[in-house]
Structure 1
Amino acid sequence: MQGIDLSRVLVLFLMLMSPGLISAQDADQWFTLGNDYAHTRYTTAEELSPENFGDLEVAWEWDGASFGAVSGRSTPSLIDGLLYTVAGYNRHVIAIDPKTGETVWSYREPKTPRAEYSMRADYGKGVAFGYIDGRGVVLIVSPGFFLTALDAKTGVPLDDWGAPVGVDGFPESGVVDMLKDLGHPYDPYEGIPLETGYITSSSPPIVVNDTIVVGNSAEQGYNQSRIENVPGDILAYDLRTGDFKWKFNVIPKPGEYGHETWENDAWEWTGDVSSWAPLSADPENDLVYIPTNSATIDYYGGFRPGDNLYGASIIALNASTGERAWHFQFVHHEIWNFDTPTAPILMDLAVDGQLIPAVVQATKQGWLYTFNRLTGEPVWPIEEREVPASIVPGEILSPTQPHVTWPEPYSMQGISEEDLLDFTPELKAQSLATMEDYVMGGLFNPPIHADNPMGKYAAMNCPGGAGGVNITSPPVADPVNNIFYLSEHTACFTLRLIPGEEADLLFPNSTGTTTAQYANSVRGATARTPRHPSGLPIWKPPYSTIVAYDMDTGEKKFTVPTGETPQRYKDAFERAGVSESVYGNTGTGALVPMVVTPTMLVYSDQASDGTPMLWALDKDTGEIAAEMEAPARSSYGMSSWVHDGHQYIMLQTSSKLTALALPAAQAESGAH
């Protein structure tokens, strides 16, 4: 019989005594888009298990086509017997009956040009929720950057909350125009002049005790060529009244901590550093955790010398006051599109016999950054190490970057000859020939410019701005056993810059007025990537995996490919004379949605023939415990909760929501 780990038992006891983290983990609630404030996507529901997993059926399907739903990015919240979600470019708010899938009510904000301009309009990931004198309140941030409070039972905007916004069609109460609190000139209908910048939203706010904390989003940095924009300052409002409480400057002003990391006057007119990923919180300690992206323009920052706080960082703020408790910058002077893509996850760890309230941030870089969430002290050392300088005129990179020493990376970091496809001499020779036009290097391989002295086309960027962990695959965690699960893949970008005046022609009607010296050479996030003539990726498999970590030790528990090797890859390997025993399961290459229960880790991906599938994995080994054909592909998240005594698994299937349950849970009527 194994001995009892007393430190882990004590941690579990302390968690159970901590209402701030587990209050939303009752099985009949899914309170935030990550279920709890800690963002674990863990449910205590136990009706479903590997033994009955194959008996799951579609209980109902909700079709959001009439609301203009497209991407399925929103994870619905189940609160007090109703599901709440957002859908479509207008970010309709919808309440759904969790038993039948019928729409109970919906709310749509009136159209405005400032909302229609939003490049994140269909990116809404969910809602926030709070209580005012026992009354449930649904809160959303719209693409136009209005904060709206709705009665949870009726969908009607609250009375005596917020203030009139001065735009026809808006309610007289229940709405806050947050542009007024950013401090820039604006028109209530049109928004901030594009010459100054633009701000929108892609994630819901979060309610921490009696404070609503609001993040934001901006134009994608790879679609920018002009240097002016507005900063993504964090805003907070009183839950009871909608009154403004505080603003945190993500680009520090003179006299504020971090101002010296802006070595010229760029802090006055450049922007971004937005928190487009979801926020997490520790209500018991009144802390909110803000992951940020980079400053204006991906791939070139010559106009903003310095480390550029608080870009590419995690910031812990006091939710009541907005005061900074601590921060950590993952990437200094970030130019690689290494913005922070997912919510931080809070866990209570037992490390070397010491109890540590922790926050864990998964990143595109292939590292888990782990901190004491109260102090910001790294749980394991993070070292500054030298990185290459840039050859691009005007660009001055940081000479060092933070390197996580533990846990070990989960993704390929950088690319070298050893990483290239080389199962046969011919494949290797083709790989080397294909890479002739590219500069290979490590994780912080700098972008290069056209007509560079090396005569190369672009610099390799691996695991890539879409690689590692990203928006479509939120990590999950088992807070009982302190296991962290993530979905990762390699999606190397190639970084090539052209003169700003040329790049500006690619991005019409963009923000700012002054073109940068250099900017991205293409519409989209990556220049032309190297294509192996075999039809296979240029790097060796696996192409996508689920990785599990024991966060009490930082050790990897397992790494398993996601899904099955696509048939097109099987055919390519066969043509190249490489047997499946050599390359194994490559994984599909996709990032996958997951949810974790007491008995299994559930995820969705595809079989070799493209059939959408659901798999249940053993949480300790990663071995397949059960599998079933899924009704459709899903992405961006997965949830599981109990209603009417039965457990459901919710799939986000593009414009639809698909609820799975055992036959006993079937409703008499389907969704409308």
Structure 2
Amino acid sequence: MSEWTRDEAPRKAPLVSGLVIALLGAVVTAGGGWLVALGGSWYYVLAGLGILATGGLLIAGRAEALWVYAIVVLGTVIWAVAEIGLDWWQLAPRGDVIFLIGLYLLMPWVTRGLVRSPGARAPAAWRGAGVPLGATLVIAAVVGLAAMISDEHDQTGTLPTAQAAPAPPNAAAEADGDWRAYGGSGRGDKYSPLAQITPDNVGRLQVAWTYHTGDIRGPNDPQETTYELTPIKVGDTVYICTPHDRAIALDAETGREKWTFDPKIDERKNLQHLTCRGVSYHEQTAGAPAPPNGECPRRIFLPTADARLIALDAATGRPCPGFGRNGTVSLWTGMPDPGAHQGEYYSTSPPVVTRNLVIIAGEVTDNYSTNEPSGVVRAYDVNTGALAWNFDSGNPEQTAPIGPGQSYVRNSPNSWSISSADESLGLVYIPYGNQTPDQWGGDRGANTERFASSVTALDIATGQVRWVFQTVHHDLWDMDVPAQPGLLDLDTPNGRVPALVQATKRGDLYVLDRRTGQPIIPVEERPVPQGAGKGDHTAPTQPFSALSLLSPEDATIREADMWGATMFDQLACRIRFRSLRYEGMFTPPSEQGSIVYPGNFGVIDWGGIAVDPVRQIAFANPDAMAFVDKLIPRTQNSQQQSENVQHPAGGADIAGSTEGGANPNLGAPYAVELNAFLSPIGFPCQAPPWGYVAGIDLRAGKVVYRHRNGTVRDLSPVPLPFKMGVPSLGGPILTAGGVAFLTSTLDYYVRAYDVTSGRQLWQDRLPAGGQATPMTYRADRSGRQLVVVVAGGHGSLGTKAGDAVIAYGLP
């Protein structure tokens, strides 16, 4: 038998391997050519040709395949480090397939069939060629290890620890250990003066009690069925609500149920959201008008998904009969065509309660039609439910209560989040959203252009406008002002100023004089990309704050920032990046498809930030996720059908109405597709980290530290605890003990942080997603400081559903 015949079996492995590798090389070369044609990197063409040549040489059984592949490995290392530095999570998809193929090529079943020439003996003939490949793999491994121990995204720093100001003058209730409103108080700062839990002892926290509400998602509930609840605590009682708007009172010491109230909501199938972020509390004070017949001197206000505002006796949970009609005010009163729009308007956020008034806003369904209910804000007598004033941003001058037969302006900008109030100044601060549809604004009027995506100060007594600060002009990106403004008195070079801190989806923090709306930290109007859809326009400039949660390098994304699990889906993301329109922040929506970064998920969403008014610092959990929106021209047929928009599924060539996916925008010339910017296998196209914790020095006007936050344990197919920095939805709280608490990451944990450095101090596993903002209080009987978190999950984010309210305390 000839020598060639004896070696035939060993050479089958190189032949088969060569065919597979050549195929991979052809795919990478073709994709790389597409990318180059779009103006992208040449690497994939060159690497693809190298892989293709390697495969061809393997098919021929030539040991030179290892030399060629050594060049591919070394070139990949040089290119990757030059493009993104020592960033492990960026290096991994660039080199994982390349490295694994290199290791495979050194395996005996491959190498024993390689020869230098057809007449050479196979054994040992490969070894000289294998040395360079082995050396380049060692280099790649060393670079990988160096990247694993470095953190190019970590910004370290230390916040000031000195007390810069006394506690706010209206903080007596919090000093007594209560948490009387969604944001701790009407200031919305999410700060507690309790200091029993400190960085030194927080690691000893343990579960004090757990309560299960029994309110779980039903088969007919909308996808956006969520627990976004922050409880409140007054005296010896904790008050909560559930997604189906059940109000519940719990013993603050033990979590034992005291009473429940079920409003039996009329749950429409076209509801976009089913959530209750919290309830509000009012207590009769000396000198204030008394409630009818002395009833309900302490009351809980519950907003519902069928657009009611209900007043309950805080002691018993029974409706207060003197408020409205049997304890209920209908928020449909005054709405245009209420019968045609049931399910399209309601309030998911707790109202603001002042000494005499309860002030409530509401949301309208996003991106369904141009014929939506009004975004009116209304103030009711806290005792009787009589309408005291109404502020409709579509008719801002007329705030006196409208009369019978009158209606508010349809589709005026709405406020779906939580407001703040300063009763000493007589002002309530309203964070405004956009006018729907979000991505097309060709028919918006002057009032919309004034109030949309703004924070607006209204006179508490009359509802009249005192000032307006707009964060986005002619908003085409769904950049609603999403979060409750935080109020504090801030030391400036001109003395101590009553300030308002407004967090935004764009990541800018606007620090304003809350008396006038004038910026304390500078705001600059800068030119932005132009060219909106047909019939629309873009604002020539946008307001940029000098204080942003995004670093300058993170304010835009590049082709080099594209990511994936492997080089193949990373290449696909690069091709898609080059195929879409992107000219930086405020790239207008387009028929081509535009990248929106930061996306409408928000750098900050409804959870807001936490502000320490004593140290004059803030703590935040910013996200950075890119989205893609694409305008879909409406056909003539669907334009005619859109005149009848009573039913969400009817009258459009794209059905449904959500904050993501296909949105009909009935009545507008475009529907819109809005989705996260993902790879073909569902990974984010944008490289991690996607989520941080950050510390802000408000006096200095700068972000002092940023640290990656959260793991992919509950996002990956197998529970890998990689700390990549994941998105979060919900907000943090701060305490005088120097500890911040946060639950809102997409992995199921409650975490505690050293406020001064941002270092994580403690965590505990939650039974479900924790997309909510915690709170803290002192239990009256034991004097124990408890931290309460809610783990119920978030439907549209896909986190595990649950119904748990959990209190933690020191042993």
TM-score of the superposed pair, with normalisation by structure 2: 0.68
Residue by residue over 1:599-657, the C-alpha shift from the partner in whole angstroms, topping out at 9 and shown as x without a partner, is: 212223679xx6x4333222111123344444544122111111021111111100423
Question: CA separation in 2, counterparts of 1:268 and 1:212?
Answer: 19
- Counterpart in the other structure of 1:29: 178
Match of 1:175 in 2: 328
Residue pair 2:211, 2:256 contacting (<8 A) in 1 also: yes
The answer for the alignment partner of 1:303 in structure 2 is 443
Q: Distance in 1 between matches of 2:478 and 2:665?
A: 22
- State the alpha-carbon separation in 1 of the partners of residues 724 and 766 from structure 2: 21
Give the aligned partner of residue 227 of structure 1. Answer: 370
Q: How much has 1:344 moved relative to structure 2?
A: 0.8
Distance in 2 between residues matched to 1:572 and 1:64, nearest whole Å: 28
The residue matched to 1:116 in structure 2 has which SS? Answer: coil
Aligned twin of 1:106: 260
Asked if 2 retains the 8 angstrom alpha-carbon contact of 1:27 and 1:43, the reply is no
- The aligned runs of 1:285-364 (5 Å cut-off) are 285-304=425-444, 308-352=449-493, 354-364=495-505
| 1:146 aligned onto 2:308 | yes
SS of equivalent residue, structure 2 residue 174: coil
Please tell me whether the aligned partners of residues 365 and 413 of structure 1 are also in contact (alpha carbons under 8 angstroms). no
> Whose Rg is larger?
2
Partner of residue 727 from structure 2, selected from 584, 589, 603: 589
For the pair 1:518 / 2:670, whether they are aligned, the reply is yes
Q: Distance in 2 between matches of 1:585 and 1:83?
A: 34
Distance 1:255 1:568, change over 3 A: closer
Is the Cα contact below 8 Å between 2:216 and 2:803 reproduced in 1? no
Secondary structure, in 3 states, of the residue corresponding to 1:203?
coil
Question: Larger % of helix: which?
Answer: 2
Alpha-carbon displacement from aligned partner over 1:70-106 (angstroms, at most 9, x marks no partner): 62211111012111111132x1111111222222112
Is 1:445–2:587 an aligned residue pair? Answer: yes
Aligned pair count reads 597
Q: Is the 8 Å Cα contact of residues 421 and 540 (structure 1) preserved in structure 2?
A: yes
Aligned to 2:6: none
Taking the aligned partners of 2:626 and 2:460, their CA distance within structure 1 comes to: 37
Residue matched to 1:170: none
TM superposition shift of 1:313: 0.8
Q: In 2 relative to 1, CA 514–605 (structure 1 residues): closer, same or farther, beyond 3 Å?
A: closer
Aligned partner of residue 449 in structure 2, secondary structure: coil
2:699 aligned partner: 552
The AA in structure 1 aligned to 2:236 is: G
Matched with 1:239 is: 382
Alignment map for 1:253-652 (pairs within 5 Å): 270-304=410-444, 308-352=449-493, 354-407=495-548, 409=550, 412-417=554-559, 419-421=561-563, 431-449=573-591, 456=592, 458-471=593-606, 473-501=607-635, 504-507=652-655, 515-521=667-673, 526-527=674-675, 529-531=677-679, 537-564=684-711, 585-591=723-729, 593-597=731-735, 598-604=737-743, 612-643=748-779, 644=781, 645-652=783-790
> Partner residue of 1:93?
247
Distance 1:514 1:57, change over 3 A: closer
Assess, with a 3 A threshold, how the Cα gap between structure 1 residues 290 and 391 changes in structure 2: closer, same or farther: closer
Determine if the alignment matches structure 1 residue 136 to structure 2 residue 276: no
Question: Quick check: 2:622–2:691 contact (8 Å CA) kept in 1?
Answer: yes
Query: Any stretches of 5+ residues in structure 2 without a counterpart?
Result: 1-159, 219-224, 287-296, 400-406, 639-650, 793-801
Fraction of identical pairs, as percent: 24
Equivalent residue letter for 1:330: T
How many Å separate the matches in 1 of 2:601 and 2:242? Answer: 24
Letter in 1 for 2:262: R
Is the deviation greater in 544-553 or in 297-306? 297-306
- Cα 1:606–1:140, aligned 2, differ >3 Å: closer, same or farther? closer
- Which residue of structure 2 lines up, in the alignment, with residue 161 of structure 1? 323
1:75 has 2:210 as partner: no
Shift of 1:287: 1.1
Cα pair 1:228 1:512 within 8 Å, conserved = no
Larger % of strand: which?
A: 1
Amino acid at match of 1:486: A
Question: Any idea what the Cα deviations from partners look like across 1:3-24, whole Å, max 9, x if unmatched?
Answer: xx99x86x623x44x22xx244
Alignment match, 2:195: 46
**Could you tell me how far apart the structure 1 residues matched to 2:576 and 2:666 are?**
37
Partner residue, 1:452? none
Q: Deviations over 1:337-394 (max 9, x none)?
A: 1112111111211122521111111111111011001111111222222222224211
CA shift digits 1:23-54 (9 cap, x unpaired): 44225211011111111221222222233323
Q: Could you say what secondary structure the match of 1:433 adopts?
A: helix
Amino acid across the alignment from 2:195: E
Distance 2:742 2:203 in 1: 14
Q: Which residue of 2 aligns with 1:658?
A: 805
For 2:560 and 2:395, the matched residues in 1 are separated by 43
Q: Distance in 2 between matches of 1:461 and 1:383?
A: 21
**1:123 equivalent in alignment to 2:275:** yes
**What displacement does 1:529 show?**
2.9
Shift of 1:305: 5.8
In 2, Cα distance between the equivalents of 1:67 and 1:428?
38
Contact in 2 for aligned 1:218/1:274 (Cα 8 Å): yes
CA contact (8 A) 2:728 2:771 kept: no
Deviations 1:578-615 (A, max 9, x none): xx9xxx953123346422222212223679xx6x4333
Cα deviations by residue, 1:129-172 (Å, 9 ceiling, x for unpaired): 1123572111122222222111110111223322x3xxxxxxxx
Match of 2:93 in 1: none
Q: Deviations over 1:452-498 (max 9, x none)?
A: xxxx4x10001101131113x43112121111111111221101011
Alpha-carbon distance change, 413 to 570 in structure 1, aligned in 2, over 3 angstroms: farther
Q: Give the conservation status (yes or no) of the 8 Å contact 1:46–1:599.
A: yes
Q: Structure 2 vs 1, CA of residues 154 and 448 (structure 1 numbering), >3 Å: closer, same or farther?
A: same
Aligned to 2:165: 12
Counterpart Cα distance in 1 of 2:630 and 2:768: 37
What secondary structure, in the 3-state scheme, does the structure 2 residue paired with 1:54 have? helix
Q: What is the CA distance between 1:566 and its match in structure 2?
A: 5.0
**Partner in structure 1 of residue 336 of structure 2:** 184
Cα RMSD (Å) of the superposition?
3.4
CA contact (8 A) 2:230 2:773 kept: yes
Contact 2:396 2:465 (C-alpha < 8 Å) held by counterparts: no
Structure 2 residue aligned with 1:188: none
Deviation at 1:571, TM superposition (A): 10
Letter in 2 for 1:292: Y
CA distance in 2 between partners of 1:446 and 1:603 (Å) = 34
Residues in 2 aligned to 1:408 and 1:468: alpha-carbon distance in whole angstroms = 8
Residue type of the partner of 1:515? G
CA-to-partner distance for each residue in 1:288-319, whole Å, 9 max, x for gaps?
Answer: 11001101212111232666221111111111
Taking structure 1 as reference, are residues 530 and 441 closer, same or farther at Cα in structure 2, changes over 3 Å only? farther
The answer on whether the counterparts of 1:23 and 1:36 sit within 8 Å (CA) in structure 2 is no
Q: Does 1:218 align with 2:364?
A: yes
Judge conservation of contact 1:544–1:562 (CA < 8 Å) in 2.
yes
